[in-house]
Amino acid sequence: MGNGKRIVVIGFLILIVFSLLLNVVEAKASVYYGRVIATEGNMLQVRGNNGRVSVFWIGHRTHLDSRLPFFGDRVRIVYVKDKLKRNAVARVTILGRR
């Protein structure tokens, strides 16, 4: 009986490791150009060149080139989707004002 339990436990551990490896997803960075229309706490609302408004979340890992963008600034945002399916900002570059 002891040998059979050992095989079951080892098989269960191998199953857990393989299921964890299947869930690993590589984050792909995307770039978004637009004009800031609102800032609220750690959130930016940006209107793109096509007129669509998108929401981006700024966190502790966000790299700001100079400063936090203000209302009306043109920005280039490099972002990834986080675990909560939000647009998490990786880098914000201010391209200029109007």
Q: How far is CA 68 from the centre of its chain?
A: 18
pLDDT tens for each residue of 62-93: 888 778 888 889 999 999 888 788 888 888 98
Distance CA 27, CA 33 (A): 19
Q: Around Cβ 69, how many Cβ atoms within 10 Å?
A: 22
Distances (CA, A) of 18 to 5, 6, 7: 20, 19, 17
pLDDT at 18 over 80: no
pLDDT in tens, 45-59: 999 988 999 999 988
pLDDT in tens, 2-14: 678 888 888 888 8
75: three-class secondary structure by DSSP: strand
